[in-house]
Every structure is written in structure tokens, then in C-alpha cells.
Structure 1
Amino acid sequence: MDLNQKALALWNDGKAAEALELLFRAIDEEPSEKEGYYNLISLLIAAKKFADAKAVLEMAGEKFAAEESFLYAYGNWHYQQQHYTEALNNYLSVFQQQKSIFKGEAAAMIGQCYLALHQPKLALAYLLEAEVYHPEDTMILLMIGNSLLQTESFLDAESYFDKVIALDEKNAEAWFKKGLAKRVLQQDPKEGKDCLQKAKQLDPKQFLTYAQQLKEIESVVTKKEE
């Protein structure tokens, strides 16, 4: 097992400091290997050590120029600090590369940026592209469903929440959003109520945070009924 693999194993075991130390050692021992830099940057971002991550990003940028993995990592660096416009520019630079190995991931992150910037139609265009690369990624499917909810395409949204539930029947958010879609579509009230109850059983704490969304959806229903 090389130093990168050992570091990632340590990280997964919750040994963050040891993992980072090992990755610093990896780039010292093999300064021409891109993998060590990318892994170190990713873990520093995950640890919210943004200043350290930027220093390594700049070092990698000098060594490897416009390498797409580091453009993508810069996007992550901005995204995790809620610099969504800057992150979007990085991810678009990756997505627009003809033979990008990060195309699906970049499309998903572009979609997330547009959702954060309250532009669900643009988000949807890229998330549907991301689905082509990752058809069973529940996070991507959820984001598509959420984008469809925001654009009031409720029937299509429900179908995406069904896809999530088929892959992960314990996904509380999918059950809740499915219940909301059913409520707006004025489908069988019992089915909608059962979906909401299922979400509450799966994640009672998170269910409380959905209360505002439930109020908003009720106002949409009221307008439709009027």
C-alpha cells in the first residue's frame, strides 16, 4: 500500500492528523506525482483548512499548470467556502474540456452551484448531464428532483424522488419531497400523508427543518385551488 492509500485509509478511520501528515510526506518524497497533491488538497478542504489547501493548490498550479484535477479542486475550495460564482467558473473550465475525466462530477457541481445561486433551470440542465454519467447517484437524482420542484414540474419531480427511493428506501428527504409533490398534484391525500409520515419516522430531527417547505407548498396548493 503506497503512502496515498495509507493516508486515505487513515482518514476513513477518523485519523485526520495522521492522514494529512502522511500526504505531506508523500509530496515531499514524490514531488512530481499529481495524486499526492490532489489527495492532500481534497483532505485539507474536507478538514476546512482552507489557507493550507490554497497554499498546496498554488504549489500544484506552478508544477502542473492548468491540470484539470486542480481546476476541479479549486472549484471545491471555493464551493466549501460558499464562493459559488468563483466555484462555478472553475467547474465550467473543467466541464468545457473536451476529454475531461471529471465531466460528470463537474456537471453535478455546476448544478449545485446554480441551485445555491437560485437558478434551478440552469441547475437542471447540468444535473441531467451529470445523471448520464452517474445514473444511480442518489445525491444527483435528489438535486434533479429539487430543481424540478423549484421549476414547478411536480410530476417529473415525483418520478425522480421515486428513483431515489428505489435505490435507497431509507432516504427521508426523498420521501418528504415525494409527499410534497403529491400534495401539489392533488393526488390521493392518504398517499401524500403516508410519504410525509415515512420521512418523519426515518429522520424526525430533519423533518422539523422541512416545516417551512411544507408551509410554502401549502400556499402553492391554495393558489392552485383558487
Structure 2
Amino acid sequence: MNKNQQAIAEMRDGNYETAAKLFNEWIEEHPEDPVGYINFGNLLMHINELPRAKAFFEKAIALDEDAATAYYGLGNLFFEQSVYARAQENFQKAIELGLEEADVYYMLGLTLQKEEQFRLALPYLLRATELDQNDDELLFQYGLALAQSDYVTEAEPVFRKVLDRNAQHSDAHYNLGVIDLYHDKPKSARQHFEEALQYQPDHVLAANGKKKVDELIGHDHK
């Protein structure tokens, strides 16, 4: 295991100071290797030193303008800073350069959602669910983007699939409740709102939804 690999292992274990020292040594010994700068940039992102992280990602790109993971790192950095146009640009560049991982498609989809470009987000979120078929959150965000794009009928089975995998996913319950209201099924909607609150008692939207349903069907408020 070389120092770069050791540093990654230390970083995974949360030993950031040791990881930083090893990355630093690796970079001193291999100053022309962009991977060292990318990994150090990722570490700096973890500890919220964003300006320094940006400099490391940019150094990696200066050494190799096709370093896809450096653009992905910059995309995450701009996303953290809510600079969504720049985040989108960098995620797209990473994909163009061949980064074929669920995370980059997911983050690009999330960025487009933040920009309220819900329909544009759909193919990227769908691709993320294809590349990682076991992640509930990727599937949920795809369902959410469908609902936000007014594809309510298509969103419903996606949210149900999320619940098949994780019956306690409160946001999936909430969104199914909204869909049931849309289809004029208040009793079923109320059940979903109640389940959302059971798993997440501070779910404000579910509480509001339940209150609205209670007014509709005349239930006693609980």
C-alpha cells in the first residue's frame, strides 16, 4: 500500500490529520500526479476548507485537463456553496470525460432540481438509479423529480418501490399521501401522513397534510 492509498484509508477512518500528512508527502514525492491533489482536495472538502480544496482541484486540472474526478470535486464544492450553475458545469464536464458513477449523475440531477429544472434532472437521476440499484435515496429523488415535473402517475410506483426497500422512509410516505390527495383518496392519504409522522415526528409537511385531510373528512384532531 503506497502513501496515497494509506492516506485514503486513514481518511475513511476519520483520521484526517494523519491522512493530510500522508497526502502531503505523496504530493511532495509525486508533484506531477493529479490524483494526489484530487484526494487532498476531497479531504479538505471533508473538513470544510473549501478555498484550499478548490486550489487543489484546480492544480489537478492544470496537470491533467481530462481529470474527471477533479471536475467532480469542483462540482461538489460549488454545490456546497449553492453556486449551482458552476456545479452543473463541472458535473457535466466530469460525465463528458467519462466518469460513469452513480454519484456524479445524482449530484447533477440534484443541482438541476435546485435550479428548478426538474425535467432536465430526470435523465440524470434515472441514470444514477441504474448505476446504483440499492440506494433508496437515489430512487426517492428520481420519484421526487417525476412528481415535480407533473408526472404524478409515473412517480407513484417509484415511491412505492422506495417503501418496499425501506418501509420507514418518511418522505416517500409523505409524497404518496400528496399523490393520494391528488387522486381524491383522503383516507389513504391520511394513513401515509400518519406513517410519515410515526417515523419522523417533526415532519412539518406531513403534519400539515394530516391536518388538511382531517378538515376534509371531519376526523377528530389527534
TM-score range, shorter chain: 0.7 to 0.9
Asked if the contact 1:45–1:77 (Cα under 8 Å) also holds between the matched residues in 2, the reply is yes
Q: Offset of 1:53 from its aligned partner?
A: 0.2
Alignment coverage as a number of residue pairs: 213
Question: What does 1:147-226 align with in structure 2 at a 5 Å threshold?
Answer: 147-187=145-185, 189-205=186-202, 207-208=203-204, 214=209
Cα distance in 2 for residues equivalent to 1:209 and 1:48: 31
Q: Structure 1 residues 83-92 or 145-154, which shifts more?
A: 145-154
Report the counterpart of residue 60 of structure 2 in structure 1: 60
> What residue ranges of structure 2 are gaps of 5+ in the alignment?
217-222
TM-score (norm 2): 0.82
Deviations 1:129-180 (A, max 9, x none): 3222223322221111111221222222121111212222222222222222
TM-score (norm 1): 0.81
> What residue ranges of structure 1 are gaps of 5+ in the alignment?
222-226
Q: Structure 1 residues 151-160 or 100-109, which shifts more?
A: 100-109
Q: Which amino acid aligns with 2:151?
A: S
Q: Structure 1 residues 33-42 or 122-131, which shifts more?
A: 33-42
Alpha carbons of structure 1 residues 170 and 38: separation in structure 2 relative to 1, 3 Å: farther
Report the counterpart of residue 42 of structure 2 in structure 1: 42
Question: What does 1:71-90 align with in structure 2 at a 5 Å threshold?
Answer: 71-90=71-90
Cα distance in 1 for residues equivalent to 2:79 and 2:115: 12
Q: Offset of 1:82 from its aligned partner?
A: 0.8
Q: Offset of 1:69 from its aligned partner?
A: 1.4
- Report % sequence identity: 27
Q: Offset of 1:209 from its aligned partner?
A: 5.7
Q: Name the larger-Rg structure.
A: 2
RMSD value over aligned CA atoms?
2.6
Cα distance in 1 for residues equivalent to 2:4 and 2:69: 16
